[in-house]
């Protein structure tokens, strides 16, 4: 009887032992959230760019230029003699204001005061950072930035909300070239 009991236990032991099997997922959604986000952002960018294009089309006074990085601008005051634009590390001083696409003032030039900025070495929103590199000392330029070139999804935590395209009027006061002499 004991032998039979041991035999039955051994049979159960060997028949019940098998390697664990991996469970298969019920739903497979590889990258769907990212793809949906990309599509939403493309739609938002297209919508904002269409609004800006409509403004540009109605404006028969100014000659607009499209930047390589995705914003539009025109010169109020242009320097045709100089070819000096700020490069990486150069110190610039400038004044600007910010409005929405309807012309509503968000920040006045007085509120923002004169800004001293080292090109690409300090924080500044993408569009303005790229726009300054196109300017020469003394020039005045009006930039139209879609939200992805401005403060994007997060806004500025003060007056600029999420996904707000902006217009900025910028005056580049000075350019001080970074010292290239070695000690």
pTM recorded for the entire structure: 0.80
Tell me the CATH architecture of domain 48-176. Roll (3.10)
Q: What percent of the chain has pLDDT over 90?
A: 73
Name the strand (E) or helix (H) holding 73.
Answer: strand 72-77
If you write DSSP's letter for every residue of 12-53 in order, what string do you get?
Answer: HHHHH-----PPPPS---TTHHHHHHHHHHHHHHHHHHHHHH
Residue 5 above 80 pLDDT? no
Domain ranges of the chain: 48-176
Residue 181 above 50 pLDDT? no
State the chain's mean pLDDT as an integer: 88
């Amino acid at each position: 009887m004991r032998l039979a009991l041991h035999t039955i236990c051994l049979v159960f032991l060997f028949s019940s032992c098998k390697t664990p099997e991996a469970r298969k997922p019920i739903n497979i959604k590889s990258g769907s959230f990212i793809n949906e986000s990309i599509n939403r952002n493309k739609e938002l960018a297209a919508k904002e760019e269409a609004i800006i294009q409509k403004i540009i089309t109605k404006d028969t006074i100014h000659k607009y230029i499209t930047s390589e990085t995705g914003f539009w601008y025109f010169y109020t005051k242009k320097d045709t003699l100089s070819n000096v634009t700020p490069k990486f590390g150069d110190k610039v001083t400038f004044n600007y204001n910010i409005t929405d696409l309807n012309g509503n003032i968000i920040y006045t030039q007085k509120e923002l005061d004169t800004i001293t900025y080292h090109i690409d070495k300090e924080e500044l929103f993408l569009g303005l950072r790229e726009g300054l590199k196109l300017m020469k000392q003394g020039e005045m330029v009006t930039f139209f930035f879609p939200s992805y070139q401005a403060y994007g999804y997060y806004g500025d935590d003060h007056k600029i909300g999420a996904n707000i395209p902006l217009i900025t009027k910028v005056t580049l006061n000075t350019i001080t070239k970074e010292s290239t002499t070695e000690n």
